Structure formats: structure tokens, C-alpha cells
A = this chain, B = another copy of it.
Amino acid sequence: MLITAPLEAVPLVRRIAEHAYRAGASLVTPFYTDDAVTLARFRHAPDAAFDIAPTWLHEGMADAYRQGAARMAITGGNPVLLSHEDPDRVARASKAASLAGRPAMELITSFAVNWNIVACATPAWAEQVFPDEAPDRALERLWGAIFQASRVTADDPVANWSAHNATLHRRADWLNDRRFAALHFTGPGTDLTVGLADGHAWAGGSEPARNGIVCNPNIPTEEVFTTPHARRVEGVVRATKPLFHQGTLIDGIAVRFEGGRITEARATQGQAVLERILATDEGARRLGEVALVPHSSPISQTGVLFRNTLFDENAASHIALGQAYTKCMVETEGQTPEQLEARGANSSFIHIDWMIGSAEIDVTAISQDGDREPLMKHGEWVNTV
């Protein structure tokens, strides 16, 4: 088992390691990241450094997964660590890391092994979420919000998660039965039609990995999600929450799609970073995911902007720029990347989730025949499943 975590998560990693060993793990290898060392690099390293990533480490991790290691990622670093650094260097470092990490990421997203992402409250993160609180109190409140959002405050969290997974599976099954052609999002600043890929598949909640182990890849998770058609997205959309990406903040995003491609993009904050993201590659201007989350999810109910994608994307319906998930397509066995692309699956080095849902957003489903059917009203599902 391989655990990646911020240094501040040491006490949590130790407890997880003990439980993993008790559960039969033969070897738990924690790999810690350190925001201070990352910052030292941006402050002191030569400029050419920013096109370099630890390929040996990413390749090694991919080898670990090939040999059967489970993966746990603990998130919790400072969400705005790099907000004062040169956006060009941030983008180059991010691209180099994505490139180096691609083989490992493909093994993870294709569920070659069981995996999970959870969060650990850290002082730097808590300060960003609760800036008016004393450090101890901010940390305590962030832990409280994490526990509430993660559905672990109920009497029997395991039973609660079983029921929650069953609800998400029923919702995904229902959407898969209906095989809609497109989703139409409407609300303030948003009038967006997202075509769905040919043979798209909805997913959500726990998943069996190819090693037979059923895992909840994200905790928390509230979304059902699928693959949009990379060339069938039309209209305008305004983000409903700021986006915290690779230690930088992008706020007030508003974009226009034509033929699936972003043709206009504005942000009230972080415009330079947004433009660099869109320039990563051709697929960075197109969608790789669309996800539906009811506004009544426990994460929304915390009222907290977590400034961390794991939480914020599960508080609102969202779309993602970049790479599509193969598992969100049916009958992919033996298909070439070109065949998947012809069906609408996008391809990119990036995958960046970006919140477009709220209590003011309606979603209408459009059938293959062009019939319209209300799916979500004021951010809530119209029907129960």
C-alpha cells in the first residue's frame, strides 16, 4: 500500500498504517510532500528547473500499482501555496508533473488497483477556510467540516456509506437506462448544452477495482458523473464557486463553448493561470467530465467553501476540462484511443473539475429524440430513484 500525504498528516498516516497492517497489508510506504520544500523551489531554483518532474518517482509508483499496491492519497496542503509565484512557472511545473504522472494516473483511473482519496485538516488549509478563527479553532472547525461532509458523524458510518453508495448506484443505473443525448444547464450567467458521448456510462459511489476489491475512490463523494461529447458543447457557463488549482485561485470564471471548444474565457481573478491551463494542449479547452450533485448534499450543507477540489466538486454539479474517464464509456474493450475520441471522449494532460451547480441552477435532460425532461430544479433532483 502506497500513501501520499502532506507532512502535517503524519499522525493520521500512522493510524492508517496500523489499521492497514492489521487488515493484512504486507508493506505500507508513506510518501510525504512538503509545501515548504515546494516553495523553496519556486523561490530559489534556476528557471530551467520548472520543466522537470521526478519521473523516477512517478514511474516507481506506477510499478508499485502494477505489482498490486493499493493507493491512498491524503489531500490537505495549502490551497493557495503558489498564488504569489510566477504563473508561467506554476503552469510549467504542473504540466511536467502531469506528464510524468500519466502512467500511474492511468492505472489508477482504470481501477487496476483499489484506491482512495481522503483529506487531513492542516493548519495552512484551515487558515484559508476559516481566516477569522484562531489557528487551533480553525483546525478544529475544519476537522468538524471534513467529518460532517464525509458522512462519518452518523451513528453507524459504515451502514450510512452502504446506503449512500446504493443511492448513487441507483441514480447512475437510472441515468444509464435513459441514455440521454444531452444536458441543458440554465441559471444566472449559464445557458449551456452539454452533449453526452456516444455510449457514455454514468458512474458514482463505490467501484470494484480490477483486483476484485470494492473501493470508494473519493471520500467524500456525492456525484454521479459521465463523459460529455468533446465536440458537442454549446453556450455560456459561469462558475458557481472559485477554483483552487495547483496552489492558485481562479475566481469568477465565465466561458463560452462553440462546437465543444472554449472560444472565450474570462476570470475576475487568476485570468493568467486560466489562460495557461487552456493552452496546455488541444484537449484542455474541451470537457472530459460532467457531474450532477444535488445542492442538498452534506457538503453544501456545511456552508463551507473548502478550497479543495475533493470537497468543493462534491458540493455542486460540475464539469471538468481535459481528460475523460474510460470507465465512463460502455464497450471500451479493445477500442483504440482514436475510436474512443470519435465517440466523443476527450484526451488531455489535464483534468480540472470546475463547479457550475447551485440552488439557482436547473438541469434539463434532452433525449436522443430531442424531447426535454426536467432533471434538476433549483439544484435538486426532480425525481427520486
A3 CB, nearest partner CB in chain B, Å:
9
With contacts A21-B40, A28-B41, A30-B32 known, is A63 near B56, CB below 8 A?
yes
A51 CB, nearest partner CB in chain B, Å:
9
Chain B residues within 8 Å of A32, by CB: 7, 30, 32
User: Which chain A residues (43-84) contact chain B, with CB distance < 8 Å?
Assistant: 43-46, 48-49, 52-57, 59-61, 63-64, 67, 69
- Cβ of A22 within 8 Å of any chain B Cβ, yes or no, is yes
User: Which chain A residues (282-326) contact chain B, with CB distance < 8 Å?
Assistant: none
B44 with A27: CB separation less than 8 A: no
- Cβ of A272 within 8 Å of any chain B Cβ, yes or no, is no
What residues of chain A have their CB less than 8 Å away from a CB belonging to chain B?
7, 10, 13-14, 17-18, 21-22, 24-32, 34, 36-37, 40-41, 43-46, 48-49, 52-57, 59-61, 63-64, 67, 69
- The contact sample of 20 A-B pairs, CB cut-off 8 A, is A14-B34, A14-B40, A18-B44, A21-B45, A25-B45, A26-B45, A26-B49, A27-B45, A27-B53, A27-B54, A28-B37, A29-B54, A30-B37, A31-B31, A54-B64, A55-B63, A55-B67, A56-B61, A60-B61, A60-B63
Chain B residues within 8 Å of A36, by CB: 14, 17
B34 with A21: CB separation less than 8 A: no
List 11 extra interface pairs beyond A7-B7, A27-B52, CB under 8 A: A17-B36, A17-B40, A25-B49, A26-B48, A27-B41, A27-B49, A31-B31, A56-B63, A56-B64, A56-B67, A57-B60
Chain B residues within 8 Å of A24, by CB: 46
Q: What residue in chain B is nearest A7 (Cβ atoms)?
A: B10
A29 with B14: CB separation less than 8 A: no
A22 with B44: CB separation less than 8 A: yes
B13 with A37: CB separation less than 8 A: yes
With contacts A14-B34, A34-B10 known, is A44 near B26, CB below 8 A?
no
Chain B residues within 8 Å of A10, by CB: 7, 34
Q: How far is the CA of A40 from the CA of B59 in the complex (A)?
A: 27
The listed residue with most B CB atoms (<10 A of its CB), out of A31, A36, A40, A63, is A40
B29 with A57: CB separation less than 8 A: yes
B52 with A63: CB separation less than 8 A: no
Q: What residue in chain B is nearest A93 (Cβ atoms)?
A: B27
Q: How far is the CA of A44 from the CA of B24 in the complex (A)?
A: 8
The listed residue with most B CB atoms (<10 A of its CB), out of A34, A60, A69, is A60
A60 with B53: CB separation less than 8 A: no
Q: How far is the CA of A32 from the CA of B49 in the complex (A)?
A: 23
